[in-house]
Structure 1
Amino acid sequence: MKSQKDSPPPHPGAILREKVLPGIGLTKSAVARRLQISRTLLYGLLGERYSVTPEMALKLSRLCRNRPEFWLNLQRDYDLWHAARSLEIKAREQHVDAGAAA
């Protein structure tokens, strides 16, 4: 069975896409206008291709009436999880390479 450490935390774009936008009742174009960003940027965030920056966190917090730290913490947790996995993979690869060289 997988532990929580085995599963990545949600990307902020996934939270926005799955939890927030359905309750807002606006089109994605209208949301982009309210956020004062391009639709391309919004779709990149929703598609989990872009990260939440401090400026974006401020914009999202105004739209959602929550704190910008909420969005930044989601992004931080997501980034840290992926960075830790990347380091683990590199460490395993180095261990295997060292074992093969011996």
Structure 2
Amino acid sequence: MAMHNPPHPGEFIREVYLDPNGITGRQLAAKLGVASSTLTRVINGNNGISSEMALRLSKALGRSAESWMIMQNNFDLWHARQRVDLEKVQMVELNLAGQ
């Protein structure tokens, strides 16, 4: 089931982990072993979660790396559906041998 306008992972990090726990982006960046500017771009929604960042977040915050990647994918796919025009895209008829 598709989500309606899923949050960017950075928004999720801010609302679920940083704000309620009084943790700054700079503090989390230090725990993640990344530059604070790198994490700031994620938190502000300017950058997505890479697989490397997903691994770091998984270890630091306890969610699986897969859950971070799924969250990013859901966000990206929802936004792509809003802007991509599929009107001219056509099905390819495939001849599947052996079937």
Answer whether TM exceeds 0.5 for this pair: yes
- For normalisation by structure 2, the TM-score amounts to 0.77
Q: 5+ residue gaps in structure 1?
A: 95-102
Q: 5+ residue gaps in structure 2?
A: 89-99
Q: Which has the higher helix share?
A: 1
- For normalisation by structure 1, the TM-score amounts to 0.75
Q: Find runs of 4+ consecutive structure 1 residues off by over 4 angstroms.
A: none
The answer for the alignment partner of 1:50 in structure 2 is 47
The one-letter amino acid paired with 1:10 is P
| 8 Å Cα contact 2:17-2:23 kept in structure 1 | no
- Cα shift at 1:35: 0.6
Farther-moved stretch of structure 1 (42-51 vs 25-34): 25-34
Calculate the aligned-residue CA RMSD, in Å. 1.9
The answer for the alignment partner of 2:73 in structure 1 is 76
- Cα shift at 1:54: 0.5
- Cα shift at 1:25: 3.9
2:15 to 13, 18, 33: 18
| Equivalence map 1:1-102=2 (5 Å) | 7-88=4-85, 91=87
